[in-house]
């Protein structure tokens, strides 16, 4: 499983993360919250090996990330970046099929997985279209299908890192996509997602990490983290925290 120990990261000569101790747990959806510039994306980049840590290290299964051969690591760890730029007219199922590149599971099995991943991301109807004709939200769902296909069907050995997977989605799809991610985590995969919407985080995440100025401010279940005090300290926002009338999770309203 993915583990960060005393992680510190520098970017452009500036320390953007320090003292991060974090373990992703199988089957769990961990939400990362924090204001702009808090180090959320840096954390994700460090967790997947894109940024070299200044101190501490990231281990996958107890082995430092750098020690993993590329394809083997790719079968265990998938990353959804914030805004993938693809300027070529691939068909949607080809883009999702890229998730199968680290595998040698055969064309038929790959096609089946691509279809299932598309269905999971509610993007089946996009199959056959050129990627370039899709809207921002549709592209985001296609890339989510791609990273799910990379780990499909998901299991306790695997890790999925998502950078703002709902940033371009309409309200319905913000819910249906996070529900899909939850179900994917239900197969055993450890999922970390950077989120901005506190209520979405409250509803779908098992644990939340509150990040500010590169440091961990709170880590725990939504009820522990989403309290008026810490939220005011981190976001500078006065909020009321109530209980969701039907589901019981915290409901955050700006005052």
Partner 1 sequence: MSAFVRRPRVLLIALTLLLLLAFWLSLALGPLRLPLVDSLLALLRLAGVPLSGAGLEQAELIVGQIRLPRALLGLAVGSVLALSGVAMQALFRNPLADPGLIGVSSGAALGAALAIVGGSLFGAGVPPEESPYLLSASAFAGGLAVTALVYRLGRRDGQTRVATMLLAGLALSALAGAAIGLFGYLADDAALRRLTFWNLGSLSGASYARLWPLLLATLGVALWLPRRAGALNALLLGESEARHLGFEVERLKRELVLCTALGVGAAVAAAGLVGFVGLLVPHLLRLLCGPDHRLLLPAAMLGGASLLLFADLLARLLLAPAELPLGIVTALLGAPFFLWLLRREPL
Is 78 a binding residue for partner 1 by CB under 8 A? The answer is: yes
Instruction: Give the one residue of 130, 157, 176, 217 binding partner 1; rule: CB under 8 A.
Output: 130
DSSP string, 85-103: ---S--BHHHHHHGGGTT-
For partner 1 (CB under 8 A), the number of binding residues is 32
Rg (CA), the chain: 18
Residue 126 vs 226, nearer CB to partner 1: 126
Of the candidate residues 12, 62, 67, 70, the single one contacting partner 1 (CB under 8 A):
70
Under rule CB under 8 A, residue 236 binds partner 1 = no
Q: Does 167 bind partner 1 (CB under 8 A)?
A: no
3 state SS of 204: helix
Q: How far apart are CA 55 and CA 42, in angstroms?
A: 14
Supply 5's token pair.
Answer: 């120990």
- Minimum gap (Å) between residue 161 Cβ and partner 1: 9
Cis peptide before 153 (omega within 30 of 0): yes
Q: Which residues partner with 31 through β-bridges?
A: 193, 208
Interface with partner 1, residue 98, by CB under 8 A: yes
Contacts of 50 (CB under 8 A, 6+ apart): none
The HSE-up count of residue 5 (CA atoms within 13 Å, CB side) is 9
Among 14, 67, 87, 246, binds partner 1 (CB under 8 A): 87
* Member of 56, 90, 168, 179 binding partner 1 (CB under 8 A): 90
Question: Cα(226)–Cα(220) distance, rounded to whole angstroms?
Answer: 9
Report if residue 253 touches partner 1, rule: CB under 8 A: no
Candidates 12, 36, 85, 246: give the one binding partner 1 (CB under 8 A). Answer: 85
Query: Which span (93-101, 151-159, 177-185, 210-218) binds partner 1, by CB under 8 A?
Result: 93-101
Helices (H), 121-209: 136-151, 171-186, 198-204
Among 94, 206, 213, 223, binds partner 1 (CB under 8 A): 94
Q: Which is nearer to partner 1, 69 or 236 (CB)?
A: 69
For 57, what's the count of Cα atoms within 13 Å in the CB-facing half-sphere?
A: 9
Give least dist CB 203 to partner 1, A.
Answer: 28
**Chain contacts with partner 1 (rule: CB under 8 A):** 48-50, 69-75, 77-79, 81, 84-91, 94-95, 98-99, 101-102, 130, 132-133, 150
């Amino acid at each position: 499983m993915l583990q960060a120990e005393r992680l510190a990261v520098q970017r452009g000569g500036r320390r953007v993360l320090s003292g991060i101790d974090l373990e992703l747990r199988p089957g769990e959806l961990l939400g990362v919250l924090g204001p702009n510039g808090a180090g959320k994306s840096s954390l994700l980049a460090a967790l997947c090996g894109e940024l070299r840590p200044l101190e501490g290290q990231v281990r996958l299964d107890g082995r430092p990330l750098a020690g993993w051969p590329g394809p083997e690591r790719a079968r265990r760890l998938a990353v959804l970046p914030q805004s993938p730029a693809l300027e070529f007219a691939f068909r949607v199922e080809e883009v999702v099929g890229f998730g199968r590149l680290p595998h040698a599971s055969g064309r038929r099995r790959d096609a089946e997985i691509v279809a299932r991943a598309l269905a999971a991301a509610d993007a089946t109807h996009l199959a056959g279209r050129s990627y370039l004709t899709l809207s921002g939200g549709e592209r985001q769902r296609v890339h989510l299908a791609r990273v799910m296909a990379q780990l499909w069907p998901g299991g306790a050995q695997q890790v999925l890192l998502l950078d703002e997977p709902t940033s371009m989605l309409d309200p319905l799809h913000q819910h249906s996509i996070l529900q899909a991610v939850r179900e994917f985590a239900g197969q055993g995969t450890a999922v970390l997602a950077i989120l901005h919407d506190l209520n979405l985080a409250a509803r779908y995440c098992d644990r939340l990490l509150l990040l500010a100025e590169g440091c961990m401010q709170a880590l725990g279940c939504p009820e522990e983290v989403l309290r008026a005090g810490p939220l005011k300290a981190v976001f500078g926002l006065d909020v009321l925290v109530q209980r969701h009338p039907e589901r019981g999770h915290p409901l955050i309203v700006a005052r």
